[in-house]
Chains A and B, each alone.
Chain A
Amino acid sequence: ETGVTQSPTHLIKTRGQQVTLRCSSQSGHNTVSWYQQALGQGPQFIFQYYREEENGRGNFPPRFSGLQFPNYSSELNVNALELDDSALYLCASSQGGRNQPQHFGDGTRLSIL
């Protein structure tokens, strides 16, 4: 069974640039959620994708957007990067539905200079 994989592992960008992060879900999982984890804090929910559509969103501005593909993999796009966007971005996949456990990848560490 292949777990959740994310790429790249590390990324350095400058303010105003755009970034795309990628996630391959665990086999058998149709739902992907993205979280932002600032240093020393718990992850914050960005949004969730189910069957290629956004299925719930946290308190993040529209410059955070995403996609899910027919194979259930997903992308997180962030436009007009700000210094505060520096964080670990985590992807989690699940079978969807209430109380289903979410399985996380190791994240992408994004640094904004």
Chain B
Amino acid sequence: TQLLEQSPQFLSIQEGENLTVYCNSSSVFSSLQWYRQEPGEGPVLLVTVVTGGEVKKLKRLTFQFGDARKDSSLHITAAQPGDTGLYLCAGDRSGGATNKLIFGTGTLLAVQP
């Protein structure tokens, strides 16, 4: 059972376009993290959102955590070829000292110049 579903799975767009990636679950998370992963490398943390309804911006990337802390979205404005990669959302459901991450299925983004 996949707790976190991401959509779309694949996205190929032209440079300058906008896009939104969705991360949905029926479970509540104490926080949600977004990562970007390039071939041959490990995931690189982009942002952590903790509070329901929270919005964080990182240059052209806007992240939102759902009010119920079950879903999140990543919006990229004016995409560039350097944005190409696998985008992963990961929810933290653990308690106490364990922060076990549940990863989504991933969204593979290709931005064509």
Contact = CB atoms under 8 A, between A and B. Distances in A.
Indicate the member of A33, A40, A98 with the most B CB atoms within 10 Å: A98
Contact of A98 (B30, B44, B90, B106): B30
B42 A102 contact: no
**Chain A: number of interface residues, binned into ranges:** 20 to 34
Interface in B29-49: 30-31, 33, 35, 40-45, 48
Contacts, number: 80
A106 B38 CA distance: 10
Contacts of B20: none
B97 interface: yes
Contacts of B13: none
Contacts of B101: 33, 35, 43, 45, 92, 102
Given A48-B100, A58-B100, 18 more contacts: A33-B99, A40-B106, A42-B88, A43-B43, A45-B101, A48-B99, A56-B94, A90-B42, A96-B97, A97-B99, A98-B30, A98-B31, A98-B94, A98-B99, A101-B45, A104-B42, A104-B45, A107-B42
